[in-house]
Amino acid sequence: MKELIKSRRTIRKFLQKPISCEQLAEYIDLARVAPSGANLQPLKYIAVQSKDMADKMFPLVKWAGYLAPDYNPKENERPTAYIVVCADTDIRKTGYDMDVGASVENIILSALADGVGACWMVAIDRDEIRKLLDIPIEYEIPCLVALGYPKESPKEVGIATDIKYYLEGETLCVPKRNMEAILIKTV
Ligand SMILES: Cc1cc2nc3c(=O)[nH]c(=O)nc-3n(C[C@H](O)[C@H](O)[C@H](O)COP(=O)(O)O)c2cc1C
């Protein structure tokens, strides 16, 4: 588990090898048991698995803001599946953001355990996604996870000057603050 957490990097370039409905259902089942404030469990999910729907989702998400549009996935590098996270406002109107974080991290790490890469996405066209997937108005759409077998191997690097990720040849370098910078104190 610790190795998985340490090795995880956001993946934005994918092999065109499909992910099965069973795999997606398993990741959602593992999101289902994530911690939830007051155990209200307002989150629900839509699994997008068909090639047709994945193709329609692609223009509705925005990739790697610091490197766009050059680093956008090419036609043969697109995600093969998506899990759209919905918050049922009939169950909880606001304040479900931390539930979303816990649930998405469960999805990302479950997928990684199968060798499947993921990109957590908040820069998404919610209105068009709602139309495409026929999502009822009482469901908010906080984010989604794009999924697929990785076709890149981004790496963690130290911060030289900036937190912006950058390309070194074909390798995406992701600067992370070190322990000294983030551990305020141990008392
Ligand atoms: C809340 C959240 C929203 C994100 N939204 C996007 C997004 O819309 N598009 C994208 O390409 N990456 C998105 N990312 C991925 C981040 O850019 C990525 O996590 C960050 O650069 C650090 O890289 P790492 O995940 O490899 O550690 C998002 C990540 C988080 C946690």
The mean per-residue pLDDT over the stretch 74-84 comes to 98
The mean pLDDT value of the chain amounts to: 97
Question: pTM value?
Answer: 0.97
Half-sphere exposure of 179 (CA within 13 A, CB side): 2
Dihedral of CA 173/178/181/187: which sign?
A: positive
Tokens (6 digits) for 159: 């911060």
Atom of ligand 1 nearest to the CA of 154: 26
Residue 123 Cβ inside 6 Å of ligand 1? The answer reads yes
What's the pLDDT tens digit per position in 37-53? 999 999 999 999 999 99
Residue 10 Cβ inside 6 Å of ligand 1? The answer reads yes
What is the pLDDT, as a whole number, of residue 160? 84
Alpha-carbon gap, residue 129 to 32, rounded angstroms: 22
Residue 118 Cβ inside 6 Å of ligand 1? The answer reads no
Q: Has residue 6 got a pLDDT over 90?
A: yes
Q: Ligand 1, residues 66, 98, 121: which to mutate, most atoms within 8 A of Cβ?
A: 121
Q: What is the DSSP string of the chain?
A: -HHHHHH------B-S----HHHHHHHHHHHHTS--GGG---EEEEEE-SHHHHHHHGGGB---TTTTTTTSPPGGG--SEEEEEEEETTT-SS--HHHHHHHHHHHHHHHHHTT-EEEEE-SB-HHHHHHHHT--TTEEEEEEEEEE-BS---EEE--SS-S--EEETTEEEEE---HHHH-----
pLDDT > 70: what percent of the chain? Answer: 100
What is the pLDDT, as a whole number, of residue 100? 98
Tokens 């209105």, residue located = 127
Residue 44 Cβ inside 6 Å of ligand 1? The answer reads no
What is the pLDDT, as a whole number, of residue 161? 86
Domain boundaries of the chain, sorted by first residue: 2-152, 154-187
Q: At what angle do helices 97-113 and 21-32 cross, to 10 degrees?
A: 140
Residue 105 pLDDT level (bands cut at 50, 70, 90): very high
8 A C-beta contact, residue 171 and residue 153: yes
What is the pLDDT, as a whole number, of residue 143? 99
* Dist. CA 163 → ligand 1 center (Å): 12
Shortest-distance Cα residue to atom 17 of ligand 1: 64
Shortest-distance Cα residue to atom 30 of ligand 1: 120
Residue 110 Cβ inside 6 Å of ligand 1? The answer reads no
What's the pLDDT tens digit per position in 164-173? 999 999 999 9
CATH 3.40.109.10 fits 2-152, yes or no: yes
Alpha-carbon gap, residue 50 to 53, rounded angstroms: 5
Residue 79 Cβ inside 6 Å of ligand 1? The answer reads no
Atom of ligand 1 nearest to the CA of 12: 11
Give CA separation, 148 vs 14, 81, 114, 140, 158, in Å.
5, 6, 10, 25, 27
Alpha-carbon gap, residue 186 to 124, rounded angstroms: 39
The mean per-residue pLDDT over the stretch 147-151 comes to 98
What is the pLDDT, as a whole number, of residue 82? 98
